[in-house]
Structure 1
Amino acid sequence: MRGLSVVNDKVAWISGSGGTVGITNDGGSNWSWLQVKGYEKSDFRDIEAFSDKEAVIVSSGTPAYILKTADGGLTWTKHFEQRDTSYFLDAMDFKDPKHGFVLGDPINGKFLLLKTDDGGNNWVPAHYSPGAYKNEAAFAASGTCIRVYKSGIMIVSGGSKSRLISSTDNGKNWHYLDLPLTDGTSSRGAFSVAKNGNEIIIVGGNYAKDKLRDSVAVIINGSENISKASMPTLAPEGFQSSVEHLNGNFYLSTGTSGTNISTDSGNTWKKIDDRSYNVCRKAKKGKLVLLAGDKGNIGILKF
C-alpha cells in the first residue's frame, strides 16, 4: 500500500499493488476492500479522495492509467491511458476538488506534469514542466513528492540530483534548490515534502540502506523566495518516504525503518514505532492520521 487519502475523521481511501483499493467509513477501524476489475495487475501508487463516493487513482508502470469512481469504488472510469514505456506516473495532488496535478518521471529532460481542471475527468500536459537532470526522478513511494497549495506547487526529486523544485504561479515559472541530501544513485534523495506557512520539511534518504540516519531530512525556513536548506539537529532514525504536517510545530514522518515525530518544526525527531510503513496522511478536514505500508499494514496515530 502506497496511496492514502484521508478525507475526514471517518472517511479514508487506500490504494496499492494488485489493483487494490480500500475504503473506511469509521476512521480506519474497519475496511472494505476491492480489486478494480480489469486492472488486477496495476500498481495504484497514489489516490486522491473527495468523499466516501468520489476518488481518483493513479497507476504506475506500463500501461499508465488514471481512473475515477463516483460511486464508492463500485465502478471505475478510465480518464487517462498511456502505453508508452517512457511514462511512469509517480504521484498526484489536488488544491481543491477540481484542480490537480499528476507528476511523472522526466521525459526528454523535463518532468512529466499532467493537469486537470474538472476533478480528474480530463488530463492534459501542463504548459510549462520543470526541467530535469539526466537520471533525476521523483519517487513513487508515498504520493507526497508533489504538493499543491493554491497557486503554488512543490516537487522533490532524487536519483542523480536531490532538489526542491517549486513554483508560486501554478507552474508557469520554476525555482530550483539543491538539497543537502545524499544523491547520485537511484535509491537516494528526497522522497516527500510537507509545508506549513513558510516552513518546509523534506524527508528521504536511501531506501536500499534504510537504517542509515544521516541525510534523511531537511528544513527550509523562508518566504516565497526559497534559497536555503539546513539539516536537523537530530534526524529521524533511518530512511523516510513520507512526511506530513499535523498541527503547530508537529510533523510526522514514516518509512520502512519506522515512524518518527517532531514537535519543534523538524529540528529534532523521535522514533515512536518500529513497523514499516510507506505513507502517512492527516485528514483534510479533521484530526484523523493514518499510515499504510507493505503486507497491508495500516496504522492509526493517536496524539
Structure 2
Amino acid sequence: MLKQLSAALLVMLLLISTRSGAQHITLLQQNKPTSIRGLSVVDDKVAWISGSKGYVALTKDGGQTWAWQQVKGYEASDFRGIEAFSKDEAVIMSSGTPAVILKTVDGGVTWQLKYKSIDSAYFFDAIAFVNDKHGFILGDPINDKFLILETKDGGNTWAEYANKPVALKGQASFAASGTCLRLLGNEKVGIVTGGSVAELITLAVNGDWVHQQLPLSSGQPSKGAFSITINGRRRVAVGGDYKDDKNNDSTACYSDDFGKTWHLSKTLPAGYQSCVEYLSNKTLLSTGTSGSNISFDDGITWSKFDDNSFNVCRKAKKGKLVLLAGNDGRIAMYKP
C-alpha cells in the first residue's frame, strides 16, 4: 500500500512539473523609466497600465503595441492604481502626496482631476469597481481606521465612506499591485493587510466589518498579505516579505468557505508574491519580484515557472488575455 501511495505521489508531482513547465511569459515592453503597479485588462485587445513618474500606457491590439504618455502636470505622480472600462475611459489614482484621482473619456488625450488631497496622511493603495459606476479606493489608515473613498458615478465624484474598518496599531495595506482591495461579490468589499497582522477584512451585508486573521508572515512593516483573488466560495491570498523576496515562508493561503477559515498552501510560491489572479476554474497565476508561480488546484500547491520580476498580473475582464507588468516599464504576456 505504501509503495502504491509513493508511486501515485510521484506521478502527481511529475504531472505538476510537466504542466508548470508548459507555462510561458513573453516580454512585450521594457526599458521605460517607470515602475508599473497599475494594470487593467478590459478585453483581449484593450488594456491600460499606470506607474511612477506620471506614466500611463494604452494598448488596443492585445499588448503588441503601446501608446505611452506622461500625464501633463503630473510627471511626479506615482499612479499605482488604474481601473479601465474601454479604450476611451479609465480612472487612475496616485499614491503619495498629493493624493489625486484623474479620469479620461477620450483615450488619454485629456485627463480631468476628480479628487485631490494635499494631506500627507492620505496614501492610496488600490482601486476597484463593482461596475462602470460604483467603485472604491482604499487608503492607509488615518486615526486608526482605513481610509475608503466611494464613487457612484463612474469616478466623477468621490466621498469618504462613513463606515470605515478599524486598523490595529502597525497594520496597513500594500500599494504593490492594486489587488489588496477586491470586490468579493454582491458589492462586498474585501481588504487584505500586513504589517503588524495579516488579515482579510470584509464588509458584511449587515454593514459590519469582519476581521479574519490569515496564516501569512506578518509582524514587520514589509510583511503580510499583498493580494487576494476569488472564485465562488474560494479565496486565495498571497504575500510574504518584500525586503526578503526569496524567502518563501508563508507566502500563500486559501479558503474554501468564503473566507471563514484559512489554510496555508501545502506547496508555497517560491518567494514574495505581490499579486494573484484566477485564470480559470482552478488555475491561478501569482507574481512578484521573486518570479511567477502557477497553481492548478485552487491554490493548494504552487510551482515556480519564471524568474523574472513583476509587480502585477491581471486577466481580461472579458476575454482570455493575461498581462504582467513591473519595474523599468516591463510589460509581458502570459500563455499556458
Q: Does TM, scored on the shorter chain, surpass 0.5?
A: yes
Q: Secondary structure at the match of 1:23?
A: strand
- Out of 138, 142, 147, the residue aligned to residue 107 of structure 1 is 142
Q: Secondary structure at the match of 2:328?
A: helix
Q: CA deviation at 1:161?
A: 1.2
Q: Partner of 2:101 in structure 1?
A: 66
Q: How many residues align?
A: 300
Kindly report the root-mean-square deviation, in angstroms, between the aligned alpha carbons of the 2 structures.
0.9
CA offset digits 1:200-249 (Å, max 9, x no partner) = 000000000000111100111104xx321111110100000000011110
Q: Which amino acid aligns with 2:175?
A: A
Q: Which amino acid aligns with 1:165?
A: I
TM-score when normalising by structure 1: 0.98
Q: Partner of 2:324 in structure 1?
A: 291
Q: Which amino acid aligns with 1:166?
A: T
Matched, 1:270 2:303: yes
Q: Partner of 1:241 in structure 2?
A: 274
Matched, 1:19 2:54: yes
CA offset digits 1:150-198 (Å, max 9, x no partner) = 32111000011110001232x8211100111121111000000000001
* Alignment check: 8 A CA contact 1:127 1:172 kept: no
4+ residue runs over 3 A deviation: none
Matched, 1:254 2:287: yes
Q: Which amino acid aligns with 1:278?
A: N
Q: Partner of 2:243 in structure 1?
A: 208
CA offset digits 1:99-149 (Å, max 9, x no partner) = 000000000010000000000000001121111011111100000000013
Write the mapping of 1:1-303 to structure 2, written as runs, cut at 5 A: 1-148=36-183, 149-169=185-205, 172-223=207-258, 226-303=259-336
Instruction: Report the structure, 1 or 2, having the larger helix content.
Output: 2
- Measured in 2, the distance between the counterparts of 1:80 and 1:272 equals 41
- Measured in 1, the distance between the counterparts of 2:334 and 2:187 equals 30
* Alignment check: 8 A CA contact 1:245 1:252 kept: yes
The unaligned stretches of length 5 or more in structure 2 are 1-35
* Alignment check: 8 A CA contact 1:151 1:168 kept: no
- Measured in 2, the distance between the counterparts of 1:135 and 1:78 equals 32
- Measured in 2, the distance between the counterparts of 1:207 and 1:220 equals 23
Q: CA deviation at 1:39?
A: 0.2
TM-score when normalising by structure 2: 0.88
User: Percent identity, aligned pairs only?
Assistant: 56
Q: Which amino acid aligns with 1:60?
A: S
Q: Secondary structure at the match of 1:208?
A: helix
CA offset digits 1:47-95 (Å, max 9, x no partner) = 0000000000000000000000000001000011000011000100001
Pick the structure with greater CA Rg. Answer: 2
